[in-house]
Amino acid sequence: EPEVTQTPSHQVTQMGQEVILRCVPISNHLYFYWYRQILGQKVEFLVSFYNNEISEKSEIFDDQFSVERPDGSNFTLKIRSTKLEDSAMYFCASSDGTGDEKLFFGSGTQLSVL
Amino acid sequence: AQSVTQLDSHVSVSEGTPVLLRCNYSSSYSPSLFWYVQHPNKGLQLLLKYTSAATLVKGINGFEAEFKKSETSFHLTKPSAHMSDAAEYFCVVSGGGSQGNLIFGKGTKLSVKP
């Protein structure tokens, strides 16, 4: 069964550093998403991406965040200057765009900001 | 605004006994509702989705959920728990924005005792 893959599974960084989280969505999917889950809190929507542009973003997704689909297979989330409160599990997801909103999620990248 | 409340943070059952995971929703319109499951070190996997076609929704692995508008509930059930059902379960509602903007509950951790 096709799956969404995320790398790395765990990323440790110093506060103020830039990080890039990588995702390979399912190959024929058209919509891509990032969610995050801070320890002990709910899974939260960050951003959706379609046709090489952001479709929607949440209040969390401020100017320090950006997303990119640099080639036909990868989808990345960049955090420009990490803060302690960015420590969380980040989930990538994709969907086929048929409107049924069935998202396929990766297993996540645990980001630890020290 | 859309929201979901999962009434139990932790449910423990014995193998072979029924499972009930409770979820109440709040929505200003007819919602799309989902249940996702997360096994340790795995991504979030869609169990089932309600979209108003039928109030009783059957999902994978023997799970089903019933949409009750009068009670604003969408509880997840399974007649007989299996050890492999031990995981975290999330009740999710469509956020009403762009496709894939999902609002998650806090999750219910299901433990299955032998």
Which of A114, A92, A83 minimizes the C-alpha distance to A37? A92
Residues on A contacting B at a C-beta cutoff of 8 Å: 3-4, 31, 33, 35, 41-45, 48, 50, 55-56, 58, 91, 93, 95, 97, 99-108
Reported as a pLDDT band with limits 50, 70 and 90, residue A88 is: very high
d(CA B104, CA B14): 27
All residues at 6 or more sequence positions from B77 whose CB lies less than 8 Å from its CB, including other chains = B18, B19, B20, B21, B63, B64, B65, B66
pLDDT at B48: 94
Give residue-wise pLDDT tens across range B46-67: 999 998 778 899 999 999 999 9
CA distances from B41 to A105, B57, B83, B100 (A): 12, 27, 17, 23
Cβ(B19)–Cβ(B78) below 8 Å: yes
pLDDT at B71: 93
Distance, in angstroms, between B38 CA and closest chain A CA? 9
The reply to whether B77 touches chain A by the CB within 8 Å rule is no
Cβ-based contacts under 8 A for chains A and B: 67
pLDDT at B41: 78
pLDDT at B31: 83
Give residue-wise pLDDT tens across range B70-100: 999 999 999 999 999 999 999 999 877 777 8
Residues of chain B contacting A105 with CB distance shorter than 8 Å: 36, 43-45
pLDDT at A68: 94
Q: If you average pLDDT over every residue of chain A, what do you get?
A: 93
Give residue-wise pLDDT tens across range A3-18: 899 999 999 999 999 9
Cβ(A40)–Cβ(B109) below 8 Å: no
- Reply yes or no on whether the pLDDT at B33 is more than 80: yes
Using CB atoms, which residue from B90, B100, B103 is nearest to A95? Answer: B100
pLDDT at B111: 97
Reported as a pLDDT band with limits 50, 70 and 90, residue B27 is: confident
